[in-house]
Amino acid sequence: MLNVVDIRNRGIKAVDEEIASNGMAMLTYRGKPKYVIFKIDEYERFKELEMELAYKEAMQDIQNSNYKSVKNTQELDKHIQEL
């Protein structure tokens, strides 16, 4: 874990070292975890997994008929307001 002082004193080098040893850098503020830094390829993989999960959930909703069809923008607006 890195704290704000580490970043202020050592800059990106502190982040690079933390990622090299742990695969990520967790930044703390006032002793509590506040941020996580990943390499860009790890972040992109995370986003892919997030999209895959959303797709699977949407397909499951379709299979379970857990969706609402709308015929026009007025119905869509009404449905959005209901959400």
First-to-last alpha carbon distance for the chain, in angstroms, is 39
The predicted structure's pLDDT at residue 4: 87
Q: Where are the domains of the chain?
A: 2-37, 41-82
The predicted structure's pLDDT at residue 66: 93
pLDDT classification of 83: cutoffs 50, 70, 90: confident
37-72 tens-digit pLDDT: 999 999 999 999 999 999 999 999 999 999 888 999
Q: What is the 3-state secondary structure (H, E, C) of 7-76?
A: HHHHCHHHHHHHHHHHCCEEEEECCEEEEEECCHHHHHHHHHHHHHHHHHHHHHHHHCCCCCCCCCHHHH
Q: Indicate yes or no: pTM above 0.85.
A: no
Which among 11, 10, 15, 8 is positioned nearest to 35, based on CA atoms? 15
